[in-house]
Amino acid sequence: DAGVTQSPTHLIKTRGQHVTLRCSPISGHKSVSWYQQVLGQGPQFIFQYYEKEERGRGNFPDRFSARQFPNYSSELNVNALLLGDSALYLCASSLGPTGGQNTIYFGEGSWLTVV
Amino acid sequence: AQSVTQLGSHVSVSEGALVLLRCNYSSSVPPYLFWYVQYPNQGLQLLLKYTSAATLVKGINGFEAEFKKSETSFHLTKPSAHMSDAAEYFCAVSVVTYKYIFGTGTRLKVLA
């Protein structure tokens, strides 16, 4: 079975532009979470969606938004890109709502460079 | 609030030596604890998780971790390091919320 798949794997954007990152969860998983990993740090929680509803949001500005589609895939959108948004964006999926003992499984990530 | 502290951002061991990566947590309720490994330019892979069923948890690739409530610790160990273990390791805590909280990571270097 395929794991969590993310696209694109690498992209370069200019300050002020907008970016859309995509994620397909493991088959049967209904929860998708997004994390940002800045170089040299651990992943920081951005959003969680379960059954197409936002279940949680991390401490990120409103420039960050996401949604989950009926097939449980998800998009992360970032508007008005800043240099500080350069990071690895990780998508993770789980069977049920993330949290507690539900294990989350990560994709390979999307490397975003803002210049 | 929950938090995780990983002591030592870089650890070096000789091939065949014991690996010990330290993780201390803070949680007001019984936590669920995880160790993930990240190889260069890849996502995170689950090594093992603690869900209160047993305090000693065995994971993949010969790693194990012991939950010690009195010390609020969940250190990761492996009896004998292999060159392929060189990677970054992250400890994470989750309670009944919607997110994992990750530590800052420990980069393991294995010396030949």
Distance from CA of A57 to the nearest CA of B (A): 9
Please tell me the least confidently modeled range out of A70-74, A80-84, B39-43, B67-71.
Answer: B39-43
Report the alpha-carbon distance of residue B73 to residue B5 in Å, rounded: 9
CB pair distance less than 8 Å for B36 and A99: no
Q: What is the pLDDT of residues A7-45, one digit of tens each?
A: 999 999 999 999 999 999 999 999 999 999 998 899 999
Give the pLDDT confidence score for residue B97 in this predicted structure: 66
Band (pLDDT 50/70/90 cuts) for residue A98 is low
Contact A104, A94 (CB under 8 A): yes
- Which of B57, B52, B19 lies closest to B35 in space, CA to CA? B57
CA distance to A15, A91, B10, per residue, from A84 (Å): 10, 19, 24
Q: What is the pLDDT of residues B20-64, one digit of tens each?
A: 999 999 887 778 899 999 998 888 999 999 987 788 999 999 999
Cα A111 versus chain centre, distance: 11
Distance from CA of B44 to the nearest CA of A (A): 6
Task: Give chain B's radius of gyration (CA, Å).
Answer: 13
Of A41, A101, A108, the CB nearest to B51: A101
Which residues in chain B touch residue A41, judged by CB atoms under 8 angstroms apart? 104-105
- The yes-or-no verdict on residue A77 having pLDDT over 90 is yes
